[in-house]
Amino acid sequence: MTRLYAATGDAVVRLDEDGDGWTAHTVLGGSGAQCLAADPADPDVVYAGLRAGGLQRTRDGGRTWDDCRLPQPDVFSVAVSAADGAVYAGTEPSALFRSDDAGATWRELVGLLELPSRPTWSFPPRPWTSHVRWIAPSPHDADLLLAGIELGGLMRSPDGGRTWQDHRPGAQRDVHSLAWHPRDAGRAYEAGGGGAAWSEDAGETWRPADAGRDRHYTWAVAVDPEDADRWFVSASTGPRAAHGEGDPQARIFRAAGDRFEPVAGGLPEPLPAMPYALLASGDGLFAGLANGELWEGKARGERWTRCAVEGAPLPRIRALVQVR
């Protein structure tokens, strides 16, 4: 039985597989939920990052939630390390925090803010600030950590966040999402505002990956767990199309190494809304759209069907995580 959690911008919704469909339950309403992370070691533990509401944690599958008392309230990213269980949270203004006791206490990783590029960080819609958009702890090395600043760069720490390398060569500076391959320790992937990139040396250097795509504003990324050369990004022609009210001009693309091809196999053309979330699952993946639609792509994204969801409304899907 598969269980998903979705952040909708104003709630956290639990989605339970129910025969041929899904049942949705609002488990954290009125929350301003922007980001989610599941604890790989415990399917009942999920963290939700909120705008102006800090970081919330459930230990019982969403029935109750606790405030983790993060020092800053505007949370844009959260992650749990599969290597050592450390919890990371990123905020606006840009700051990064780490907890080694499941969110009970926190310490700020101040080295990130000491990078030479920091004075240039600026989020275009609010140019006086920036935020930590994505955090990606390596599942293979507890000390290895990537963090993406929107907009500022892709930063790398080799020591659990104590010290940092500034923006990595070849990566996109406008970082939207990051991923590691679960089996190949050297492979990491980025979707950014100017295109996609990937690394084969554990995030030290990056290679642009844009061939085969006719649009380069990429947002979400997911990786085939069996094949490090097969990965997926969602893309649009630009931020106004992706996040506006009209045609999102969006597609999902599948890569074989450096070259992409559009994914079809049942997906509507054009897509009705931007895919804000891509989630690898078994030999397929899920796509969560900005209009609340949930799609499942089976056979490594070859065959797509829209998921029938009953229960709590999904006005949008900003983030998806899966627990088993």
Question: Is the model's pLDDT at 257 over the cut of 80?
Answer: no
- For residue 6, give both structure tokens: 């979705």
**8 Å CB contact between 153 and 117:** yes
pLDDT digits (tens, 9 = 90+) for 160-217: 999 999 999 999 999 999 999 999 999 999 999 999 999 999 999 999 999 999 999 9
- For residue 250, give both structure tokens: 């969006």
Measured CA to CA, the distance from residue 51 to residue 314 in angstroms comes to 18
- For residue 108, give both structure tokens: 């700020």
Tell me the average pLDDT across 273-299.
Answer: 92
What is the span of the domain harbouring residue 187? 3-323
CA dihedral 275, 33, 47, 68 (to 10 degrees): 160
Measured CA to CA, the distance from residue 118 to residue 51 in angstroms comes to 23
Q: How many CA atoms lie within 13 A of 62 on its CB side?
A: 23
- For residue 200, give both structure tokens: 């084969």
**8 Å CB contact between 172 and 197:** yes
Q: What is the model's pLDDT at position 258?
A: 74
Closest CA to 131 of 96, 92, 89, 166: 92
**CA gyration radius for the chain?**
18
Q: What is the model's pLDDT at position 20?
A: 85
Measured CA to CA, the distance from residue 127 to residue 121 in angstroms comes to 9
Domains: count for the chain: 1
Domain with 53 in it: what CATH number?
2.130.10.10
For residue 222, the cross-strand partners are 232
DSSP state of 53: T
**8 Å CB contact between 304 and 294:** no
Strands 319-323 and 3-7: antiparallel
* SS3 state at 324: coil
* SS3 state at 118: helix
**8 Å CB contact between 311 and 25:** yes
Q: How far apart are the first and last CA of the chain?
A: 7
Kind plus residue range of the DSSP H or E element containing 243? helix 239-243
pTM, to two decimals: 0.96
pLDDT digits (tens, 9 = 90+) for 9-67: 999 999 999 888 999 999 999 888 999 999 999 999 999 999 999 999 999 999 999 99
pLDDT digits (tens, 9 = 90+) for 66-89: 999 999 999 999 999 999 999 999
